[in-house]
Amino acid sequence: MNKWHIITFSFFIIVFLIFRCEDELNERRIINLDMNNHKLYEKCNINIESIIKLEDNENSIIGQINRLELFFNRIYVFDRDYSKSLFVFNSEGEYISKTPSGRGPGEMIDPSDFYLNRIDETIIIFDQRTFRLLTFDKDLNFISSKDLNTIAIRNFTYVGNDTVLVLARSQDLTKSGDPARMPYYDYLIYTNNYTKVIDRFRIIPENLATVSLSSPICFDNGIKFLSTYDDNIYTYDDGKIQSEYFVDRGKLGFTEDEIVRGIDRVNEIRKGNKISSLDDLHETDEYISFSFYTNKGIQFYIYSKELEIGFYSEILFNSGLLPKSNIKAIQNGKFISVIEVNEMETLSTQFKNSINQDSVYLEGNPYLIKFSFDLIK
């Protein structure tokens, strides 16, 4: 093959790769974040199917629910910021156990995340203070621990083929060994024993130090995940990552320039000029939901894949279609939402036919509601 054949061949390869990348981007679906179209809500049919009160006792007080999982006929509640514990309740909301605090065997100081191993029915928790990976049975009886030392896990989940998807905190160093920048987060694929990195995905630009999210990885219907300052919803399949959806926040989103300039993001959100990054990603066969902070607090958005329309929680609340709450899990295609106790009086008044009035307590741990969300086509 002569020089000109090589050049010609290389040219066509480059053109092919460019068009392939463009095709992959064109396959990405756009979710236009519409927070004002009230007429859409006439299409909603919401049915509250059950309400569960999480038991209150001296061992079960929850400060904040960062993550919620339902499996093994149990409810797992993760409070990362206050009690720094994982709680387990039975399917009726009765308290079973929680993880202990400390440095001894089976104890933890600052857990960052957990996942359920549905194959061997164990719970895996990472303590970001001691860099230990702890394994428990489904009732949170301690089984074993493993020192990871160099991996700062923020979120993680098993993705099959003896591999784990990890959102890990990293920090570049200067030649002198000093930190060169603020911490940032990369997605990595590790072997199941955490001894080898198979692949690394840095989604956020180098000049943006990121903050962590509560629940950016979704495995309700395949593996999907979010990344800070990035409005894409990514999929992970057979070792490949690509954007499946792009959430267009319009002027409510922060630009890269605004972030680099150090704009006061919290203040902009409080003034109603912006909304936060996406978090709490969940998916059913028909819908995708995610949450974000606004000047009215945390809100969620439910997007219909078929009709390509979305529903903003604030309008659902104000229309009396749903009590003020926050989606935290999916079970059998139904949404599981958390209601704080101070909202239960409103719930009792608006949804008299859905609950037993004598069973409502206006203090202590929050309630969980399971609701179906259907559209009148």
Per-residue pLDDT of the chain (377 residues; tens, 9 = 90+): 554 444 444 444 333 333 344 444 457 899 999 888 777 788 889 999 999 999 999 999 999 999 999 998 999 999 999 999 999 999 999 999 999 999 999 999 999 999 998 888 999 999 999 999 999 999 999 999 999 887 888 889 888 888 899 888 775 444 454 554 556 678 888 998 888 888 888 766 555 555 667 888 888 878 899 877 778 999 988 778 889 999 999 999 988 788 778 888 899 999 999 999 899 999 999 999 999 999 999 999 999 999 999 999 999 998 888 889 999 999 999 999 999 887 876 665 555 555 544 455 556 899 999 999 998 87
Residue 92 near residue 68, CB atoms below 8 Å: no
Q: CB neighbours (10 Å) of residue 220?
A: 17
DSSP string, 39-71: GGGGGEEEEEEEEEEPPPSTT---S--SEEEEE
* Residue 291 domain flag: yes
Residue 114 in any domain: the answer is no
CA distance 15 to 11: 6
Our count of domains for the chain comes to 1
Residue 258 inside a domain? The answer is yes
DSSP 8-class letter at 216: -
CA neighbor of 120 nearest in space, from 103, 100, 135:
135
Give the whole-angstrom CA distance, residue 225 versus residue 218: 6
Task: State the amino acid at position 62 in one-letter form.
Answer: I
**What is the per-residue pLDDT for 238?**
74
Q: Residue 10: helix, strand or coil by DSSP?
A: helix
Is 172 inside a domain boundary? no
Instruction: Report residue 225 CA to chain centroid gap.
Output: 7
Alpha helices in the chain (DSSP H): 3-27, 256-260, 265-270, 313-318, 344-350
Candidates 327, 338, 296; CA nearest to 314 is: 296
pTM score, two decimals? 0.85
Per-residue pLDDT, 339: 93
Give strand pairing partners of 204.
none
What amino acid is encoded at 280 in this protein? D
Question: Is position 371 within any domain?
Answer: yes
What distance in Å separates the CA atoms of residue 59 and residue 89, rounded to the nearest whole number? Answer: 12
Describe the strand order of the beta sheet including 217-218 as a list of residue ranges: 29-32, 240-248, 230-237, 223-227, 217-218
317: in domain: yes
Instruction: Evaluate whether residue 357 is within a structural domain.
Output: yes
Instruction: For residue 118, count other CB atoms closer than 10 A to its CB.
Output: 11
Rounded-to-integer distance, Cα 92 and Cα 74, Å: 8
The pLDDT value given to residue 12:
40
Which domain does 37 fall in, by range?
A: 32-56+214-377
- Name 231's Cβ contacts closer than 8 Å, sequence gap at least 6: 246, 247, 248, 249, 253, 278
Q: What is the pLDDT of residue 363?
A: 67
DSSP structure class, residue 276: -
The Cα–Cα gap between 133 and 126 comes to: 5
Measured distance CA(326)–CA(329) in Å, rounded: 9
Does the residue 86 lie in any domain? no
Give the pair of three-digit tokens for residue 51.
């309400």
Per DSSP, the three-state class of 342 is: helix
d(CA 158, CA 219): 9
**Do 260 and 204 meet the contact criterion of CB atoms below 8 Å apart?**
no
- How far is it, in rounded angstroms, from Cα 222 to Cα 237? 8
Helix ranges (H only) for 153-291 are 256-260, 265-270
